Amino acid sequence: MFKKDLKKRLFPFAVVSSIAVGGLIGALSTPTVEAQNNHRKVKNVIFMIPDGFSASYATNYRWYKGRESLLDSILVGMHRTYSANKEVTDSAAAGTAMATGVKTNNGMISTSPEGKELKTILEAAEEEGKASGLVATLTITHATPAAFASHVAARANETDIAPQLLKNGVDVILGGGKKYFPDSLLNKAKGKGYQYVSDREQLAAAKKTDKLIGLFAEKGLAPELDRDTTNQPSLAEMSEKALEVLNKDKDGFFLMIEGSQIDRAGHAHDAAWAMKDTEAFEAALAKVLEFAKKDKNTLVVVAGDHDTGGMSVGGYGKYDANVELLRNVAATGNFMAGKLNAGRSNVKEVVKQYANIDLTDEEAKRIKAVKKPDIAINEVISERALVGWTTSQHTGTDVPLYAFGPCSNLFSGLHNNTDLPQLMAQAMKIHFSPSK
């Protein structure tokens, strides 16, 4: 019965507040200003999605950081993530719900279970004359960004998604996925006025343009832990450039920014990767909140699309957590596994060098014996940090919802993920009517 009942059920509760970080939200601290902001028409919407992020990630990140995060200061509610055909969603169905206001089946991109194309909030904003942008740290054709500006029956069709992003006129496209943009497609984009950049320096130098494509890796970008081995921009740098370009449009803009790597870390049980990419996401959020505070007509909404990995805070039979250990980890488990020799006889040396951990003989034996040494390394580190995992896939738990700026009050309480684009449209006062 529950899955058939897709009607919105809201259970308002007191908004959790905390100390503002870095003074970024001090300007909105009084009830009078809050009331004024919550009735103002929103010009710009920035929707930030930390893929795979849940309350457990938020709590562990607070311990990892050693103080409250920017996210803590703008918490307003929670949202439910189930898809049309499963209690546990994938990123395609979750992205579709958050982009179109309609539940679909796992694997489908902004297409209803019956195969009908669904209008997205980005497309609705464009119809009102607003600029649009997509930023991600995996391929820009991956499930979440794809759901905002393309329509395919199967998320794996990334080759079909790439030209749709250009056809739909997305003004800023930044992320990975060069393999899905052949020269013929990029030349067509340049003919439409897009400037193309492919590394960090070129991105920083891109100034006089209102249409920008940046593709910084053949596939996904590197995890934040490993980014220093590349010439790729950070999520904060891509977000800042996207804001610079989109803000030129006098009618405003809609921008989706995804911290894609948090999800990848959860699948790999790599707690250090998860925390470091959450830190990178927070750095991007700081740029966004700085912009929104100055602009005063920008609504910022932050929501993970689902939980990944079933992370716990504490575990392994102990009433304790040791998350601060993760601050000393300097590489992902995948990177460390790539440094192992053929017989893995150097496993203790590698883990000591990159994780500052002295493996026991038993731990070293575990890593040597398994098919996937990267996962084994990650799980040993997680055990040391007392960060538990229940699955290598997603879970169906509710996910925190954050908002800042005018109309942020609309997001208070328990929502369904399908409510989010409708509330954004309401804030912008644009026509958007989700339908199957």
Catalytic residues: 91
- 406 — phi, psi (to 5°)? -60, 135
Residue 433: how many other CB atoms lie within 10 Å: 9
C-alpha pair distances (Å), 178 with each of 153, 225, 376: 22, 22, 31
- 422 — phi, psi (to 5°)? -65, -40
In the chain, the amino acid numbered 72 is: D
Q: Which helix (H) or strand (E) holds 193?
A: none
In the chain, the amino acid numbered 270 is: D
CA dihedral 364, 367, 373, 376 (to 10 degrees): -100
Distance between CA 231 and CA 250 in Å, rounded?
33
Distance between CA 417 and CA 96 in Å, rounded?
9
The answer to whether 27 and 293 are in contact (CB under 8 A) is yes
Distance between CA 234 and CA 247 in Å, rounded?
20
Distance between CA 415 and CA 6 in Å, rounded?
11
Structure tokens at 304: 């993970």
- Orientation angle between helical segments 361-369 and 373-385, nearest 10 degrees: 150
Distance between CA 365 and CA 347 in Å, rounded?
9
Surface-to-core class of residue 244, CB atoms within 10 Å of its CB (0-12 exposed, 13-18 middle, 19+ buried): middle
CA dihedral 106, 112, 113, 116 (to 10 degrees): -140
Strands 298-303 and 44-50: parallel
